[in-house]
């Protein structure tokens, strides 16, 4: 199964991207194809119109759209900023809207340096996923104290987080495979 992890923090010194790296490694180890779509590396325009209605989308946007269409399942990853998802992720969702995501499974992963792990952003993200006609997995990965559980290279340093991530991925991958069969 081809799974794209959308890493949505674009801030300098971001920490949540570590979660994306850890997820990518774990998904690959489970025998699936995983790729991180790093919004910090893309030049997404501020939302003015949905991709399908753009008159002359850039080659980069066209390539990204094709990549999204080819993806079988997604994990949307966001840090929690002021009780909400990142503006980069909201812009990404609004830009591509329903077309590449419709009827596909999407897992929710959030993180914060606080103890709650981005719980408010996680619930907000589940609502956003429903509006793009996708299937949010009910089990979410909320990573509290993310700066302490995964190092800069995406290596898990806290075994309890490793168990949490593994439980989330096992449930999500089962869900995604059932939907695609």
Rg value, the chain, Cα: 15
Distance CA 129, CA 172 (A): 15
Q: Which residue segment(s) compose the domain that 50 sits in?
A: 2-180
The answer to whether the predicted template modeling score (pTM) of the entire model surpasses 0.85 is: yes
Residue 163 structure tokens? 């168990």
Instruction: Please report, in tens digits, the pLDDT of each residue of the chain (181 residues total).
Output: 999 999 999 988 899 999 999 999 999 999 999 999 999 999 888 888 888 888 999 999 999 999 999 999 999 999 999 999 999 999 999 999 999 999 999 999 999 999 999 999 999 999 999 999 999 999 999 999 999 999 999 999 999 999 999 999 999 999 999 998 7
- Name the domain count of the chain: 1
Residue 176 structure tokens? 């995604």
Residue 2 structure tokens? 């081809």
What is the dihedral angle through the alpha carbons of 126, 40, 21, 120, rounded to the nearest 10 degrees? Answer: -30
Please state, as a whole number, how many other Cβ atoms lie within 10 Å of the Cβ of residue 10.
Answer: 18
Q: Which of 128, 146, 123, 122 is nearest to 92 (CA)?
A: 128
CATH of the domain at 46: 3.40.50.360
Please state, as a whole number, how many other Cβ atoms lie within 10 Å of the Cβ of residue 56.
Answer: 6
Residue ranges of alpha helices (H) inside the chain are 17-29, 59-70, 87-96, 119-131, 146-149, 159-180
Q: Facing residues of 33 across strands?
A: 2
């Amino acid at each position: 199964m081809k799974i794209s992890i959308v890493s949505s923090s674009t801030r300098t010194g971001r920490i949540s991207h570590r979660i994306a790296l850890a997820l990518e490694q774990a998904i690959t180890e489970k025998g699936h194809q995983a790729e991180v779509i790093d919004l910090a590396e893309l030049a997404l325009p501020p939302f003015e119109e949905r991709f399908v209605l753009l008159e002359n989308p850039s080659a980069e946007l066209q390539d990204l759209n094709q990549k999204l269409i080819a993806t079988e399942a997604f994990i949307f990853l966001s840090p929690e900023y002021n009780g909400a998802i990142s503006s980069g992720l909201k812009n990404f969702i609004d830009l591509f809207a329903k077309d590449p995501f419709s009827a596909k499974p999407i897992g929710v992963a959030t993180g914060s340096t606080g103890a709650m792990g981005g719980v408010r952003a996680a619930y907000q993200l589940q609502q956003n996923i429903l509006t793009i006609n996708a299937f949010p997995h009910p089990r979410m990965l909320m990573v509290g104290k993310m700066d302490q559980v995964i190092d800069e290279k995406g290596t898990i340093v806290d075994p309890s987080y490793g168990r949490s991530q593994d439980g989330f991925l096992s449930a999500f991958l089962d869900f995604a495979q059932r939907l695609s069969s």
